[in-house]
Amino acid sequence: MQKEVRKHCIVLLILFAVCPAYCSTYFVAIDGNDSSSGTINHPFKTIPKAVSLAKFEH
């Protein structure tokens, strides 16, 4: 049982290490601007703008 837990922990650590390389976070606010970068300090104004930048891969 301890081997299984250790194996699952290793897999989770690898996933958490790799995810930031493939993930992006965009922020949207009512006072944002769609020509902004979508960061927390410079959010987009509309959700469709954030969706248009999202990459959907299978």
Look at residue 11 and tell me if it is in a domain: no
**Residue 22 has what pLDDT?**
63
pLDDT tens digits for 1-53? 667 777 777 777 776 665 555 677 889 999 999 999 999 999 999 999 988 88
Look at residue 10 and tell me if it is in a domain: no
**Residue 5 has what pLDDT?**
77
Look at residue 29 and tell me if it is in a domain: yes
Lookup: tokens for 51: 């969706």
Look at residue 40 and tell me if it is in a domain: yes
What's the pTM? 0.58
Look at residue 18 and tell me if it is in a domain: no
Categorize the per-residue pLDDT at 58 as very low, low, confident or very high, splitting at 50, 70 and 90.
Answer: very low
For 30, the domain range is 24-58
Q: How far apart are CA 51 and CA 28, in angstroms?
A: 11
Kindly list the distances between the CA atom of residue 34 and the CA atoms of 10, 15, 23, 25, in Å, as whole numbers in the listed order: 40, 31, 20, 15
**Residue 51 has what pLDDT?**
86
Look at residue 44 and tell me if it is in a domain: yes
Number of compact structural domains in the chain: 1
Query: Torsions phi, psi of 24, nearest 5?
Result: -135, 145
